Amino acid sequence: MCVLGSFSAYSFYMIPRLTRLDESNCHKRTMSISQAWEKEVGKDSAWIVSLCCFLTPLGTALTFSIVLGDMLSMLAQSVGASGMLMSRPALLMGITSAVLYPLCRLKSLAALSPVSIVGVTGMCMTAIFMVLRALPTSPYMTAGSVFLNSIPSISRPSFGLVGNNALSPSILVLVSMCATSLLVHFSAHDFCDDLKENTPRRMKKLTGMAFACTVIMNIIFMGAGFLTFGGNCKSMVLNNYSPKDIGATVSRLIVAISLVGSYPILFRAIKSSLFELSHKGKEVPEKFNKMATRSLLGFLTVTALFLKDAGIVVSLNGAVMGSAIIYAFPSIIFLKLTQRLVSQGKLVKSKKLSLERFANKCLIGSGGLIAVLGAAVILLSKFKPGLMV
């Protein structure tokens, strides 16, 4: 997790750095990955980058919809709802039409900043809750407890069974899921441009702190979840906890609020990449904007109704799209840019630059291996699990 976090932080910071490296660059705003690719690599292949930057947040938004449906369904069970009021499809369609659709149509997302604070605070509270539930005195460690009796056997703690070791190909599933949790690179240029007192030093500080905190939180979630439920730990771990557990109910509510507040921000990235593909930087008609919002949100909601396993969406998104956007695209642009600047005499070919270029070549190779092998292992684990034993 720490290694992946370091790689992701480096490539995230690299995206605004690509704009600043060329002192003759006349861009007032930071270039997106696709814009930087078009400038340094070529226009003919820029659509591939735009497509990946479109599919990546689309896959993440699909994960959000799946998890949101699960959270609302579990919350309905906790308050004793029945019938349509606890139906996952009805709840998901209801919150999409009544809440998500109006939010995704907002011109400015500044009003959502308080929700972001609630989300961050809520994640910290959820981490504390999960650590407490992983302690030996936890009700989930006591046979016959009310919490254990209220969850199905497949969700109860399971320890002592020997599974795949750390050298198994199955570890690539975890690597891919971790990559998704660190994948915000398609919006790196927006983060940079919106940063107050925007300087390279402040951007570097923001990147380091943000990715370090994310890595620490992920380690806590993974460790506490596994120490509580062992081999039966689900890909969305909050689904393991009992609907009678008040702490789990509060955590689910906070996660649901966080997802609702984050959804429009993610949706803006989806539409921005779609418009790059469809209009090539030209002004987008309002009619097309509305149609895109309805169509995309409808597609995500309908897909989430049928696809209930968030784990496979997260891992596949991380394996394929994450590898391209985190490891490949920024590194390829960096190699092309530095080669051009050195040939033009605008950049000195130092030992430090040579080492960094070599490191970027290694990142490209690593990303390719993770993408191919990771996707293969994920699909085999899902559809042919016997082959992975």
pLDDT at position 122: 83
Q: What contacts 237, CB < 8 A, 6 or more positions away?
A: 130, 221, 225, 229
Residue 293 has pLDDT above 80, yes or no: yes
Average pLDDT, the chain: 85
Q: In sequence order, which residues have a C-beta less than 8 Å from that of residue 288 and are 6 or more positions away?
A: 278
Examine residue 43 and state whether it is found in any structural domain, yes or no.
no
Q: How many helices (H) and strands (E) does the chain have?
A: 15, 0
**Residue 110 tokens, joined:** 């500044």
pLDDT digits (tens, 9 = 90+) for 55-104: 888 888 888 898 888 888 888 888 777 666 668 888 899 999 999 999 88
Say whether pLDDT at 26 is over 60: no
Predicted pLDDT of residue 380: 77
**CB distance 338 to 353 below 8 Å:** yes
Query: Contact at 8 Å (CB) between 250 and 267?
Result: no
Show Cβ contacts of residue 54 under 8 Å, excluding neighbours closer than 6 positions. Answer: 270, 273, 274, 276, 277
Q: Nearest to residue 245, comparing CAs of 170, 316, 149?
A: 149
CA 279 – CA 369 distance, rounded (Å): 33
- 352 assigned to some structural domain: yes
Question: Which of 4-13, 260-269, 290-299 is predicted with the least confidence, judged by mean pLDDT?
Answer: 260-269
156-182 confidence digits (pLDDT tens): 998 887 666 666 777 777 777 787 788
Given a contact cutoff of 8 angstroms between Cβ atoms, the answer to whether 18 and 188 are in contact is: no
- Residue 72 domain flag: yes
- In eight-state DSSP terms, residue 389 is -
Instruction: Give a yes or no: residue 74 inside a domain.
Output: yes
Q: Does some domain include residue 263? A: yes
The number of distinct structural domains making up the chain is 1
User: What range defines the domain where residue 235 resides?
Assistant: 2-22+49-388
Residues forming beta bridges with residue 350, ordered by sequence position: none
DSSP code string of 177-231: HHHHHT--GGGHHHHHHHSTT--HHHHHHHHHHHHHHHHHHHHHHHHHHHHHHBT
Which SS3 state, helix, strand or coil, does residue 42 take?
Answer: coil
Contact present, 36 and 18 (Cβ < 8 Å): yes
Dist CA 43 CA 334 (whole Å)? 16
User: What is the mean pLDDT of the segment spanning 269-286?
Assistant: 81
**Residue 95 is assigned to a structural domain of this protein:** yes
Distances (CA, A) of 194 to 16, 114, 206: 12, 16, 12
Residue 204 lies in a domain: yes
Taking alpha carbons only, the member of 183, 162, 236, 248 closest to residue 52 is 183
Q: Which of 126-135, 141-150, 339-348 has the highest mean pLDDT?
A: 126-135
> What is the pTM (predicted TM-score) of this model?
0.80
Q: Which pLDDT does position 27 carry in this prediction?
A: 55
Q: At what angle do helices 2-21 and 171-181 cross, to 10 degrees?
A: 40
d(CA 123, CA 98): 25
3-class secondary structure, 158:
strand
Please report which confidence band the pLDDT of residue 217 belongs to, taking 50, 70 and 90 as the band edges. Answer: very high
pLDDT tens digits for range 346-358: 888 899 999 999 9
The dihedral over CA atoms of 62, 65, 71, 74, expressed in degrees to the nearest 10, equals: -100
User: 1 by DSSP, 3-state: which?
Assistant: coil
> For residues 313 and 62, is the Cβ–Cβ distance under 8 A?
yes
Is residue 316 within 8 Å of residue 59, measured between CB atoms? Answer: yes
**Is residue 372 included in any domain, yes or no?**
yes
Q: What is the pLDDT of residues 218-258, one digit of tens each?
A: 999 999 999 999 988 887 888 899 988 999 999 988 888 88
SS3 (DSSP) at 163? coil
The whole-angstrom separation of Cα 165 and Cα 170 is: 9
